[in-house]
Amino acid sequence: MSPAQLHADSIVIDGLIIAKWNRELFEDMRKGGLTAANCTVSVWEGFQATINNIVASQTLIRENSDLVIPVKTTADILKAKEQGKTGIIFGFQNAHAFEDQLGYVEIFKQLGVGVVQMCYNTQNLVGTGCYERDGGLSGFGREIVGEMNRVGIMCDLSHVGSKTSEEVILESKKPVCYSHCLPSGLKEHPRNKSDAELKFIADHGGFVGVTMFAPFLAKGIDSTIDDYAEAIEYTMNIVGEDAIGIGTDFTQGHGQDFFEMLTHDKGYARRLTSFGKIINPLGIRTVGEFPNLTETLLKRGHSERVVRKIMGENWVNVLKDVWGE
């Protein structure tokens, strides 16, 4: 099979996209052969604002039903593949939208939310993010993990502090994930995960989606798709070929105001970090260039079987487990 044929035949899943929602993005997803993606609908928003985001997103999906379909089950992912469309999984990057109500977890599951990150960079009622002193998983957080397990929402730990992450991994009865992270073995950064952290999540049945967000890559904005592939390989050598996937963290279409919102606590308070200029790795600067990743992994000596796993099959397997199918 040629690289293009393999890509067209594979299930291709992006474990985290926070790009600007519009038809242009959906068209680029189709150009890139994307089967499904975990698309962020909540970061700093509370319950009501997140509901509003979901309403707007559902409307956009309906208006562009020639390109995308909503995903609530892995069967929907396979349906998207059959129909030549992209499946949209709703995801949160912060459990803040649950507020202090356990019952909201099931409500959001019914609305199609399949992945929720426990914290976004800072403290919330569940635990602590990676940019402040980590107090670990709260008692309420343990209840949230249990409820997410029960209804079938995956616990994401990408922006979560190391102590809180460890406690979620131990508390959860279902696999948890770093949906979009990079190894600190290639670059030291508060958002990157150590070899020990990567091994720990994998040893407990967890999953790792590797990001290509330039500030976390060793060469920054000078990175290429080969640097991204190197990070995937480094991670796979630790977690194994069954626990790895893609989680690009595409921010396509957003302006500087969006990054200002992300890098301030609660979207407006103290500054947590500064990304500087953001340019995706050469060769995969847009979602439409996804086929280049399949080609790059093949060129670097990976078998078709392993490439299929990395590009999406592994995501399907772990989501099927977590979603209770």
Distance CA(239)–CA(208), nearest Å, equals 8
Helix, strand or coil for residue 313? helix
Q: How do the domains of the chain map onto residue ranges?
A: 3-323
The residue among 143, 244, 126, 250 whose CA lies nearest residue 193 is 244
**What does the pLDDT read at residue 75?**
98
- For 283-293, the pLDDT digits (tens) are 999 999 999 99
CB-based burial label for 286 (10 Å; 0-12, 13-18, 19+): middle
Mean pLDDT of all residues in 49-68: 98
Find the mean pLDDT for residues 2-11: 97
Distance CA 71, CA 89 (A): 5
Residue recorded with tokens 């040893």: 203
Q: Please give the DSSP secondary-structure letter assigned to residue 112.
A: T
Averaged pLDDT, 34-59: 98
Residues with Cβ within 8 Å of 256's Cβ and at least 6 positions away in sequence, in order, are none
Backbone angles phi, psi at 89, to 5 degrees: -95, 125
Residue of 204, 262, 210 whose CA lies nearest to 15 = 210
Mean pLDDT over the full length of the chain: 97
Q: What is the pLDDT of residue 275?
A: 86
- pLDDT tens figures, 158-172: 999 999 999 999 999
pLDDT of residue 278: 87
Nearest to 91 by CA among 23, 162, 163, 36: 36
Residues present in the chain in total: 325
CA–CA separation, 110 vs 104, rounded Å? Answer: 10
pLDDT per residue over 81-140, tens digit each?
999 999 999 999 999 999 999 999 999 999 999 999 999 999 999 999 999 999 999 999
3-state secondary structure of 296: helix
Query: Is 140 in contact with 99 (CB distance < 8 Å)?
Result: no
Q: What tokens does 291 get?
A: 């086929």
277's tokens: 């200029």
| 3-state class (DSSP) for residue 166 | helix
Mean pLDDT, residues 253-260 taken together: 92
Cα–Cα distance, 155 to 146 (Å, whole number): 10
Task: Give, as one character, the DSSP assignment of residue 273.
Answer: -
CATH value of 3-323 in 3.90.960.10, 3.60.15.10, 3.50.30.30, 3.20.20.140: 3.20.20.140
* Location of structure tokens 């809180």: 164
Q: For residue 96, which phi and psi values (nearest 5 degrees)?
A: -55, -35
Backbone φ, ψ for residue 60 (5° rounding): -65, -40
pTM for the complete prediction?
A: 0.97
